[in-house]
């Protein structure tokens, strides 16, 4: 179906459905090799923050799918057919041969191109919302297949639970790491976006070994983000963010997420989290800083 702006056609007043597109955070990201299909073989531990974008929608009976984007980062995102929310809607609509449409509103709270899966989480939230909105009967495996066609991180974002992710994102395994759920977490972005393709292209192609995360101590001691060096070379301010986070009291772990530029810190207590947020906002008023927690499953 073609993209039509919500203002162009009347939309019946129907029940509204809401989904949260939870921010995805890579607590570790190991790049193992470049595959023959051009994708990189990855090993990562994904957790999801309580913070995220908000997607709402209601049914349209004219078959059209429309999207409006609002919120603090709306200006950085296009609402046209290339938006992952629109792609998800059209993919599910085509697969189910669904004749109904949807009018959706995305409140963009997360920065764009920031390494915390904002677009992927939005696409996954759209799939979850439309499965409920249209009351479609689809096997979980098929929904994951549709999600993977949208992007490597989208399948993991469907469930938005702590999981080990391998391959290009299609090999998922739920993971329990004692002490992680509910952990206070600070997300910081210095106000820049970086190109995922550029960062992966600059990876040094050295396999530094598999990911082991049986517990938090092992994750801290042996985990890493192999994309931090090329990301810091492309955007030196990322090193400044990591240094600022690691200097805060009560930090258990701090790394860059994904291909950047957002970084995170896990804290011992809510008090430490709040104090760090106050201090960083005072020194770096232009940085995006979000106080949140690791989502409890």
Looking at residue 272, which CATH number applies to its domain? 3.30.70.890
Evaluate whether residue 11 is within a structural domain: no
Evaluate whether residue 5 is within a structural domain: no
Evaluate whether residue 166 is within a structural domain: yes
Evaluate whether residue 73 is within a structural domain: yes
Verify whether residue 153 is a known catalytic residue.
yes
Q: Which among 28, 23, 9 has a CA at the least distance from the CA of 224? A: 28
> Both 148 and 59 in a single domain?
yes
> Both 22 and 150 in a single domain?
yes
- Burial class, 207, CB count within 10 angstroms (exposed 0-12 / middle 13-18 / buried 19+): exposed
pLDDT at 100 over 50: yes
> Both 142 and 242 in a single domain?
no
Q: Which domain holds residue 99?
A: 17-174
Q: Which percentage of the chain shows pLDDT scores above 70?
A: 95
Set 53, 122, 153, 226: catalytic member = 153
pLDDT at 8 over 70: no
- Mean pLDDT computed over every residue of the chain: 93
Task: Tell me 74's DSSP state.
Answer: G
pLDDT band at 10 (very low <50, low <70, confident <90, very high): very low
What token pair was written down for 210?
Answer: 């598999």
> Both 146 and 195 in a single domain?
no
Residue 167, preceding peptide bond in cis (omega within 30° of 0): no
Q: How far is CA 218 from CA 79, 214, 221, 260, 263, in A?
A: 42, 6, 5, 23, 20
Torsion angle of the four alpha carbons 91, 94, 97, 103, in this order, in degrees rounded to the nearest 10 = 60
Evaluate whether residue 34 is within a structural domain: yes
**What are 51-98's pLDDT values in tens digits?**
999 999 999 999 999 999 999 999 999 999 999 999 999 999 999 999
Rounded mean pLDDT, 114-122: 95
Which domain CATH number covers 40?
3.30.230.10
Set 24, 53, 108, 226: catalytic member = 24
Evaluate whether residue 103 is within a structural domain: yes
Of 144, 174, 204, the position where a domain reaches its end is 174
pLDDT at 114 over 80: yes
Evaluate whether residue 4 is within a structural domain: no
Helix and strand totals (H; E) in the chain: 9, 10
How many domains are there within the chain? 2
pLDDT band at 34 (very low <50, low <70, confident <90, very high): confident
pTM of the complete model beyond 0.75: yes
> Both 190 and 163 in a single domain?
no
Alpha carbon distance 187, 265 (integer Å): 7
> Both 203 and 153 in a single domain?
no
Helix locations, the chain, DSSP H: 84-96, 118-133, 140-150, 154-159, 196-201, 216-222, 228-234, 237-246, 270-283
**What are 162-182's pLDDT values in tens digits?**
999 999 888 999 999 988 999
């Amino acid at each position: 179906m073609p993209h039509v702006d919500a203002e162009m056609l009347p939309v019946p007043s129907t029940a509204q459905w809401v989904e949260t597109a939870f921010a995805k955070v890579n607590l570790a990201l190991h790049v193992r090799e470049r595959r023959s299909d051009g994708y990189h073989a990855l090993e990562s531990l994904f957790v999801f923050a309580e913070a995220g974008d908000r997607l709402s929608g209601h049914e349209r009976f004219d078959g059209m799918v429309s999207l409006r984007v609002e919120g603090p980062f709306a200006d950085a995102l296009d609402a046209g057919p290339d938006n992952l929310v629109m792609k998800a809607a059209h993919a599910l609509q085509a697969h189910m041969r669904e004749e109904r449409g949807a009018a959706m509103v995305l409140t963009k709270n997360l920065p764009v191109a920031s390494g915390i899966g904002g677009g992927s989480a939005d696409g996954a939230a759209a799939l979850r919302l439309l499965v409920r909105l249209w009351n479609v009967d689809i096997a979980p495996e098929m929904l994951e297949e549709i999600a993977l066609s949208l992007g490597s991180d989208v399948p993991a974002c469907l469930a938005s639970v702590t999981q080990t992710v391998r391959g290009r994102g299609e090999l998922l395994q739920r993971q329990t790491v004692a002490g992680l759920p509910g952990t206070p977490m600070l997300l910081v972005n210095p106000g820049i976006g970086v190109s995922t393709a550029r960062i992966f292209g600059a990876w040094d192609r050295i396999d530094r070994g598999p990911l082991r995360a049986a517990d938090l101590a092992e994750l801290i001691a042996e985990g890493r983000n192999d994309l931090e060096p090329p990301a810091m070379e492309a955007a030196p301010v990322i090193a400044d963010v990591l240094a600022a986070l690691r200097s805060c009291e009560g930090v258990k772990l701090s790394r860059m997420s994904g291909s950047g530029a957002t970084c995170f810190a896990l804290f011992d207590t809510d008090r430490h989290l709040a104090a760090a947020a106050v201090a960083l906002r005072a020194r770096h008023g232009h940085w995006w800083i979000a106080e949140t927690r690791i989502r409890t499953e």
